[in-house]
């Protein structure tokens, strides 16, 4: 391993010391004609973004990258790639963390390490007039050396969980390799095998969760995810609802 990531030939690496946000840079590059497989990696971000307009604190020492993808699919299908990315990260982290570490997933896009958030995925896309996806930017942030304090959901880093000195470059290399595998599998076999693998690592299945929607808050059993990736919640009285976008909290009430 060197300081320069060795990525599979399907990628074109754009390596930067510092940028506002790798997702934003990827979108600017799309405007200049960048194609499928362009991977923007920065050692630090000045305005890293999380889901729902939140800040993603981005000091040097952690991984920040965004991959441009141009899959031939609908926007709903493209959203399934965030589950593929979570699987790719779990597979990529496994050889780098202590044995018996627990790497699990929190719907929709979080990767947990020993029940605390270690990584987040931010998927942004544009749809062509045909209704098909024009481009997709898959952004990934992994807390390698440090994690932010005072987050709503507890956060951690590989270092804080006893992984020793893991190199950011190694996390990027492993993730990018496994992402290709997962994307090829999704292209060939659809979402079903990814869904199945994701559910094996899903946190809180069968337990009580609370989802906060714009107009209501639902508490019930986390039944699983459906064939599109939507969360299925079982309410008291037996009614089942599917939720496509929300924050999910473990337990009866949102903090």
**Using CB under 6 A as the criterion, which residues of the chain lie in contact with ligand BTN when the complex forms?**
21-23, 45, 48-51, 54, 56, 64-66, 109-110, 120-122, 139-141
Nearer to ligand BTN, 49 or 197 (CB): 49
Nearer to ligand BTN, 138 or 180 (CB): 138
Alpha helix stretches (DSSP H) within 48-165: 75-79, 81-93
Own/partner contacts of 156-161, CB < 8 Å, gap of 24 or more, are: 156/113, 156/114, 156/116, 156/117, 156/118, 157/62, 157/118, 158/93, 158/96, 158/97, 158/113, 158/118, 161/97, 161/98, 161/101, 161/113, 161/114, 161/116, 161/118
Q: How far is the CB of 53 from ligand BTN (least distance, A)?
A: 9
Cα separation, 243 vs 228, in Å, equals: 11
Nearer to ligand BTN, 143 or 210 (CB): 143
Q: How far is the CB of 129 from ligand BTN (least distance, A)?
A: 27
Nearer to ligand BTN, 49 or 116 (CB): 49
Nearer to ligand BTN, 37 or 141 (CB): 141
Q: How far is the CB of 168 from ligand BTN (least distance, A)?
A: 12
Cα separation, 209 vs 219, in Å, equals: 6
Q: How far is the CB of 96 from ligand BTN (least distance, A)?
A: 18
Residue nearest to ligand BTN (CB): 120
């Amino acid at each position: 391993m060197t300081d320069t990531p060795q990525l599979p030939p399907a990628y074109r690496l754009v390596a930067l010391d510092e940028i506002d946000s790798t997702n934003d840079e990827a979108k600017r590059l799309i405007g200049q004609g960048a194609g499928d497989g362009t991977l923007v990696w920065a050692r630090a971000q000045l305005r890293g973004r999380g889901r729902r307009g939140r800040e993603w604190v981005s000091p040097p020492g952690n991984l920040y990258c965004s991959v441009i993808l141009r899959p031939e699919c609908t926007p709903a299908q493209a959203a399934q790639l965030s589950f593929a990315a979570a699987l790719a990260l779990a597979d990529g982290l496994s050889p780098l963390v202590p044995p018996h570490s627990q790497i699990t997933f929190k719907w929709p896009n979080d990767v947990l390490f020993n029940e605390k958030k270690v990584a987040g995925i931010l998927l942004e896309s544009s749809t062509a007039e045909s209704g098909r996806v024009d481009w997709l930017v898959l952004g990934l942030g992994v807390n390698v050396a440090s994690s932010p304090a005072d987050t709503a959901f507890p956060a951690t880093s590989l270092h804080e969980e006893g992984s020793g000195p893991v190199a950011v470059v190694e996390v990027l290399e492993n993730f990018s390799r496994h992402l290709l595998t997962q994307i090829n599998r999704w292209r060939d076999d659809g979402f079903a095998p990814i869904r199945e693998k994701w559910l094996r690592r899903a946190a809180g299945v069968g337990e009580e969760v609370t989802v906060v929607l714009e107009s209501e808050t639902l508490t019930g059993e986390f039944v699983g995810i459906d064939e599109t990736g939507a969360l299925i919640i079982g309410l008291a009285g037996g009614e089942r609802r599917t939720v496509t976008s929300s924050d999910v909290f473990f337990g009866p009430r949102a903090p």
